[in-house]
Each structure stands twice: as structure tokens, then as C-alpha cells.
Structure 1
């Protein structure tokens, strides 16, 4: 039984290190500049960029990690929940040799995370080669509103992320018409979709000035959306991703012509995923044995679908939660901690 054509994708770290452009060991990003030659999985072009922009590497790693965390949140109710087979730290997208469907999830989320992190690091003065946004004043901004607050530098974050992450794909060379060449094109397409999702959701933010909050004057700047909104958008793109194939000219084309052709803002994939009901080291699947499920849900988080028809066990669990919260003037909320016993259901 399969969730649908492309619901799940495993994340593998240990056997894919050499293929991953964003695996940055924490030892190198905390408290010290990274040693570019020792970072696992960088291509030659990426090593050169690392040497030129060492202060960027921390934010590339943090951004990719943010993307993975958001992926795990978005897929928390799916059989594949963006988890990993082992407990290694994962920074960035991981490419599996046999399941290209996986890549379009991580490429989008991780690329978006990198754009987000680098853009904000510029605004916060953490990078030597960029500062606040220099985006052009929006044409529809009222004349008496000032444009020039310190905004997120989306333009720089977008360009640097594209240069760094895409460098790995552009350095590869595969025979025309091969599966590897199709996957390369898919990676580049989905990298761009992740970047554009961040860009599309960026918005103008303003602050009022004036006597007693009269808001007689406003200062406005470009601000990135909360990353949860980016995650929500990527999840929607994932659920509507387009199946692609390689044509005789070596170009990706849509497999089903009756649908609208995907744009640079959409995610695409080459092949469907298996159901990931059982643990499988070769695909990176943890399976769903031991996963919590919702007995009353008919969705993917429901016990019937989550447990792949194997059934489930019920047990009592003690949970602690905030309760009896009261607002105190001024200005905080004080709560007690209550313990209660609940029924939980776990896949066999």
C-alpha cells in the first residue's frame, strides 16, 4: 500500500556523506571558522567559495538544518516523517542513488533554509560581504512612507545560495539521456523552487513614527516571511509536485501532458516512492513500527494507514502539561503543571 505517488522520502546521512553539499560538522561551525578542506562532501567549486566566504559557512549549515527541522514538522503525520536511519547530525539535502523522489523534498526545504539564514545574517551584520537589503522601493508604497529600514537582504541570500548549492550540480557531467543527468536537472529545478518560495513570501514591513503613536510617518523595509509559512508553502508544492521524464533532447518534460506544466516555482520528481512501512537500510526508511498513531483519524496519521494494516497496541501514558493559567497585571501569565493519563496508540 502506498500513501500516494510521492508522499514519503527517507533521509540518509551515513552512506550519503560524500554526495551531500551541505553536511557541515558542528565542530566546525561553533566558535571557529570552518576548515574548508575538512568539510565533508564539498565539491571543488564549493571549497573555493568556502575559502572566500568562510564566515558564510555557519549560516549555510544552520539554514540547511532549519530546513530539515521544518521538513520534519511538515511531515510529522506521514509514514516518512523526514527522519534519518541513524542519529548523525544532518545539514542539508541528501541525495539517494535510487530514489530521486526524495531529493525534491530536501532540495526545496534545505535551499529555502539557506536563503533564509544568509539573508538574515546580512541584515544582522554577521557577514563581511553584505549588509541590509538594498531592494528597490515598491512602486505601490505611499509617497509619504520612508523606504530604507534595515531589511533582510534577500537578493544577496538568493544569489549566494544559488551559487553555492548549485555549484555541485553544475560541476557534474553525465551522458546525455542518462538517469543521472535527469536527476541533476531535477535537483537544479527544485533548488530554484526552494529559493523562489522564500522570495515569493517576502513582504514589506513598516514601523510607525509620530507623537503618541499617531503614525504620521512610516518607515518600511523588506522582510522575509516566518519560516513556518515557507514550510507550509513547500508542503503544498510537494503534494502537487509534477512527475517528469527526460526527452530525447535531454530536457525534463512533464510525464502527464494533461496537467499544466510546472514553473520554476513548483517542485518536480522523477519516480514514485515505495510505501516505507518497514525499516529498510538501503532506502533509508525507518518504517512505522513503534510510531504513534491517531485511532480516530482517517488520514495518514490514522492507525490504519500509519500502521500499514499491521494493527496497533494501546497503552496508558502520563503526560505533563500547563494548566490553570492566570494573567497577572502587568504583564505575564502564570500556569501550574498538571499530570494526566491518556490513551496512546502505537503501530505494531
Structure 2
């Protein structure tokens, strides 16, 4: 409708100062038909996003602009997941082959990490979109005002603090909706790990400041809270994955208890799991495993990326390939670096496929 794109429709501005921010509501003179088309479009869009439960669909219809941010968050957490597990048999590769909002969370594929990092990704994406003025429902965090202090002295709150509280609140409502439909050990585990993911983003909020004063001295500072790079959250959750705690559901079905009776600590900030992971050596779609056939491995490593571990003892093939790299680089005044291109031959090792049983060849 051409009448829906005139001067009456306001466009959010990116990174405008906090005191200039306001809700991005449509002008009163915006035609009613435009709002009707918007509502109808949101319903159609949300009804066609696969994998949403009713509660998520309702949130989508009320806040359709948030779904783009959630989609961006999905790309971000899948990318981070693949980075964290790049040297392991399971490397998150199954997750980006699906077209749902989150990528399909496979039935058994490292749930303890996947649920935490995906929940963190939604918090991160929503919070960022709020602060950049991309959403109608939220903007910067206006709660922090007045004077405060840190180890460098006093400062004034100002600027554009990331609205982590809104990001956390919406992520909890949206991501947890699926798990709240079921009352079993797995749902309780997922809700717990979702919370750990949300808290991980909050843990790495950092103070950023701008200095004022004579000659740029920091006698006066204006500061705000900002999220750290998502990699810090990924690194933290990866360490928590390594020390995850096995749990079982208690008898009344309202919570879980640690499987190890000698465990004395708290599970509050730890990732938990209810079943062991498969070995991921073979293709098993129900477990989210593509197998390791054809995966590149490191012949000289004794770690998880080494050929012995990665290939599950099946052995590996070696192919000699040509590699082109920059070499003999020189600094040229002023101001450039010039390099030659050098070719060399390198050996690439890839895992052998699983050997089929003889009876399969006969049949």
C-alpha cells in the first residue's frame, strides 16, 4: 500500500542518545488500513515460522520486529557453537542445516551447551537491537542515573547502557515457552541451562566511559554498561560444558538432584545433563550426528582434533594439495606492505568412512 510509506511512518534511529530516545509509535494520522495490514502480515509471518509453540507464536504476533533480531541471534550462537566445537567429532554442523528460528536442536546433540548458548544468543541479539533503536518495544536502559564510582574514581551515568534486563526478560519468555509445556527431567534440564545461558551474557557486562576535562583528562567521566563480545560468553559456557553435572529428576517431579551422591557443591551456575552424549563416530540423525567420515584431522595431535580420536580408530586418507600463501612481505614507504605469493605442497588428512558390514554388500 503506497499510503503506508509516507512521512507519517517513523523510522528508528541507530544509537541516538538516551535522552533523545522515545517510543517509535506510528503517528496518529497513519491510516488504519496500514495497522491492519501490519497485524495481518505479522500473523501470516508468525504462522509460517516452523518450530514455534503457541506461546512463541503469540509473542511473535505481538512483537514481529523482534523475530528478525532472534533470527540474527540464532546465526550468532550457531557460529559460536561451531567455533567452540570446531576440533571435536560433533561440531554443530547439524544445526545450520535447518530453517527454523533456532536451527533444529537435535534430540541428543550436546543439549547442555546448545540450550545455554542459544538462550544467550537471544539475550544478546534482543539487547543489542534495543540499544540500537531497532525495536518499538524497548530502547536504552534508562534506570542508571546520577553519580557512581569504580576503582578509578567517581563518574556520572549517561550514554546508552545496553538494556540487558529487557533482553533477559524477553528471552526467558520466548525461549522457555517450549520447555514449560512439558514436565519431565529433560525439560527441567533445558530450563536450567537456558537460565545459565542468560546469566552468562549478564556476567560479562562491562563499564565503558568517555572522558571529559582539560586536554582530554579523565577528571570527569560519563559511563554506561555495555555487553562484551559474544565470544566471552561462548568461552565461559564451553568451560561450563566441560564440567557439567549429571542430574536425575526427584521423586515428586518438581526438580532434579545430582546423580553423584558425594557431590557437595551447588548446581545453580553449572550446566547439567540427564544422559551421556553419543560418541558421534557414525551418522545418526536422531542424535544430531553427521559422523566423522571426511573430516579433516591433525596427524600430529593427541587431542580431540587428532586423527586417532577424530576418526574413531578407522584410519585416515592423506591427500597432497597445493597451498598458496603470502610470503616475503616487505614494508614499502609510505605506507603499504607488498607480498609475493608462494606455493607449497601440504598433506591434508581426512577420516576414512565407516566400513560397511559384509552382509550389506551381499544384499
TM over 0.5, shorter chain: yes
For residues 227 and 327 of structure 1, what CA distance do their matches in structure 2 show? Answer: 34
For residues 67 and 85 of structure 1, what CA distance do their matches in structure 2 show? Answer: 10
Structure 2 contact 205–227 (Cα < 8 Å) conserved: yes
> In the alignment, what sits opposite 1:247?
250
Q: Which residue of 153, 166, 170 maps to 1:156?
A: 166
Task: Report the secondary structure of 2:322's partner residue.
Answer: strand
* 1:143 to 1:302, Cα distance in 2 relative to 1, 3 A: closer
- Answering whether residue 125 of structure 2 is matched by residue 117 of structure 1, we say yes
For residues 337 and 171 of structure 2, what CA distance do their matches in structure 1 show? Answer: 41
For residues 188 and 229 of structure 1, what CA distance do their matches in structure 2 show? Answer: 22
For residues 122 and 283 of structure 2, what CA distance do their matches in structure 1 show? Answer: 30
Of the two, which has the highest radius of gyration?
2
For residues 221 and 86 of structure 1, what CA distance do their matches in structure 2 show? Answer: 35
After superposition, what is the alpha-carbon deviation per residue over 1:1-36, rounded to whole angstroms, capped at 9, x for unaligned? xxxxxxxxxxxxxxxxxxxxxxxxxxxxxxx96711
Task: Give 1:91 shift.
Answer: 3.9
Q: Which residue of 68, 73, 76 maps to 1:63?
A: 73
- Answering whether residue 299 of structure 2 is matched by residue 299 of structure 1, we say no
For residues 74 and 337 of structure 2, what CA distance do their matches in structure 1 show? Answer: 35
* 1:95 to 1:84, Cα distance in 2 relative to 1, 3 A: closer
For residues 284 and 309 of structure 1, what CA distance do their matches in structure 2 show? Answer: 21
For residues 310 and 194 of structure 1, what CA distance do their matches in structure 2 show? Answer: 36
- Answering whether residue 109 of structure 2 is matched by residue 132 of structure 1, we say no
> In the alignment, what sits opposite 2:191?
188
Q: Which residue of 287, 290, 294 maps to 1:286?
A: 290
- Flag the structure with more relative contact order, 1 or 2, with Cα contacts below 8 A and sequence separation at least 6: 1
Q: Which residue of 249, 263, 267 maps to 1:263?
A: 267
> In the alignment, what sits opposite 1:272?
276
Task: Report the secondary structure of 2:175's partner residue.
Answer: helix
Count, aligned residues: 308
> In the alignment, what sits opposite 1:78?
88
> In the alignment, what sits opposite 1:10?
none
After superposition, what is the alpha-carbon deviation per residue over 1:288-321, rounded to whole angstroms, capped at 9, x for unaligned? 1111111111101011111111111112122333
Structure 1 contact 193–265 (Cα < 8 Å) conserved: yes
Which ranges in structure 2 are unaligned for 5 or more consecutive residues?
A: 1-40, 353-363
> In the alignment, what sits opposite 1:220?
223
Task: Report the secondary structure of 1:167's partner residue.
Answer: coil
Taking structure 1 as the reference length, the TM-score comes to 0.81
Task: Give 1:147 shift.
Answer: 1.1
Task: Report the secondary structure of 1:282's partner residue.
Answer: helix
Q: Which residue of 101, 108, 117 maps to 2:116?
A: 108
After superposition, what is the alpha-carbon deviation per residue over 1:107-164, rounded to whole angstroms, capped at 9, x for unaligned? 1111111101110111100011111123546954366422111121111101111111
Which ranges in structure 1 are unaligned for 5 or more consecutive residues?
A: 1-31, 175-180
* 1:258 to 1:277, Cα distance in 2 relative to 1, 3 A: same
RMSD of Structure 2 on Structure 1 (CA): 2.4
